[in-house]
Amino acid sequence: MTTEKFAVIGHPIEHSKSPLIHQAFARQFGKTMTYEKLLAPLDGFAATIKQLQLEGYRGVNVTVPFKFEAFEVSQTLSERATAAGAVNTLSFQGGHISGDNTDGCGLVNDILKHWQRTIDGQKVLLLGAGGAAQGVILPLLAQQPAVLTVANRSLDKAQAMVDCFKADAQLHQVSLTVQTFDELSEGYDVVINATSAGLQAEALPVSDTIFYAHSLAYDMMYGRETLFMQQAHAAGAQVADGLGMLVEQAAEAFYLWHGVRPETAPVIQSLRLS
C-alpha cells in the first residue's frame, strides 16, 4: 500500500505545529502517512496546488495568507467554507479539489469540550471582522447563543460581515448586532478575540465591564499571553488561548481525510508541555 501524503502550506510556515498534531493523531490509529510543511511562493499558490495533485497528495491544510486563494481553487465548497469565504482544508480526489473550513468548528469544539462552556442561550461577543471572525460566525450561530454581538475597529467591515449572516441569525433565533469598541459596556458570558491585535502587542480599546467573574475570555492567538488575556484575567474572567482551536480544527480536517475522529485532549496537553 502506498503511503498517503499530506501537507500544510503557507508563507511563512516554519512555525506551524500542524505536522506534529497530524502525526500525533495518525499514531492513535496506527496510520503511516507523511505530513510536511510547505512554503509556497506568495504568487504561486495555485501552481503549487496543481503540482501537489500531480505528485499524488491526498490533501493539504492551508494557512496565512492563502485561505482566500484556497477558496478560489476549490471546485466544490462545503457550506461552512462558503459562509467563511475562506478554505483551510483541501482534499484531492481523482483530479477534483474540495474545499472546507474547519476553523469555526475547531473554536466551538474547544469551547464546549475543553473549556466545558455552553454557547446555547449565552451572550457572546466576537471582536474582529477579518477572515478568522468570518469563519466562526456560522458555527457560533448554530450553537444558538441568545445574543451574538460583533465589534471591530473598522465598523463598516463588521456591518458588511454581519449583513451576510442575517438570515442564519433569524433561522437560529439569535440577536446578531454590531457595535463599536466604545459602545461595548455590558458583560458577556463568552468574549472571543478574533483580532490580530495580539500579534502587534496592541491593546484593544474595550472596557473591563465586558468581562465578569464567569466570563470565558477566548483569544484565538496562542503561544503568548496577549494584552487582551491580561485585561480579561485582571477583570476576573476565565482565560483561554487558541491552542485548543488549532488542535480541534486539525482534528476536523483529519476526520475529513481519514474518516476517524482522533482524541484531542492528549495532543493539546503535550503541545502545552513542549
Contact 60, 33 (CB under 8 A): no
Cβ of residue 15: shortest distance to ligand NDP, in angstroms? Answer: 10
Q: Is 161 annotated as contributing to ligand binding?
A: no
Instruction: Return d(Cα 75, Cα 27) in angstroms, integer.
Output: 31
DSSP classification of residue 242? T
Identity of the residue, 5 or 153, whose beta carbon is nearer to ligand NDP in the bound complex: 153
Active-site option among 31, 37, 67, 113: 67
User: Is 88 annotated as belonging to a binding site?
Assistant: yes
Would you say 45 or 53 has its CB closer to ligand NDP? 45
Any binding-site annotation on 220?
yes
Residue 18 marked ligand-binding: yes
* CB of residue 29 to ligand NDP, shortest distance in Å: 23
Report the alpha-carbon distance of residue 89 to residue 250 in Å, rounded.
Answer: 9
Q: How far is the CB of 146 from ligand NDP (least distance, A)?
A: 24
Helix segments in 126-236, DSSP class H: 131-142, 155-163, 166-171, 227-234
Query: What is the rounded distance in angstroms from the CA atom of residue 88 to the CA atom of residue 65?
Result: 11
Pick 87 or 245: Cβ nearer ligand NDP? 245
Nearer to ligand NDP, 63 or 215 (CB): 63
Give the number of other Cβ atoms within 10 Å of residue 114's Cβ. 18
State the nearest-atom distance from the C-beta of 94 to ligand NDP, in Å. 30
CA-closest candidate to residue 141, choices 90, 107, 182, 183 = 107
Count the helix, strand and coil residues of the chain and give each as a percent rounded to the nearest 5: 40, 20, 40
Cell 476549490, residue located: 74
Q: Say whether 103 counts as a known binding-site residue.
A: yes
Q: Known binder of ligand: residue 131?
A: yes
**Strand ranges inside the chain, DSSP E:** 4-10, 33-39, 59-62, 76-77, 89-93, 96-100, 123-127, 147-151, 175-179, 190-193, 216-219, 238-240
Q: How far is the CB of 179 from ligand NDP (least distance, A)?
A: 14
Residue number with CB closer to ligand NDP (139 or 242): 242
What is the spatial order of strands in the sheet that 190-193 belongs to?
175-179, 147-151, 123-127, 190-193, 216-219, 238-240
Residues that bind ligand NDP (CB under 6 A): 103, 106, 128-133, 152-154, 157, 194-200, 202, 204, 220-222, 242, 245-246, 249
Known catalytic membership, residue 37? no
Binding-site annotation: residue ranges: 16-18, 63, 79, 88, 103, 128-132, 220, 222, 242, 249
Binding-site annotation: residue ranges for shikimate: 16-18, 63, 88, 103, 222, 249
Catalytic residues: 67
Binding-site annotation: residue ranges for NADP(+): 79, 128-132, 220, 242
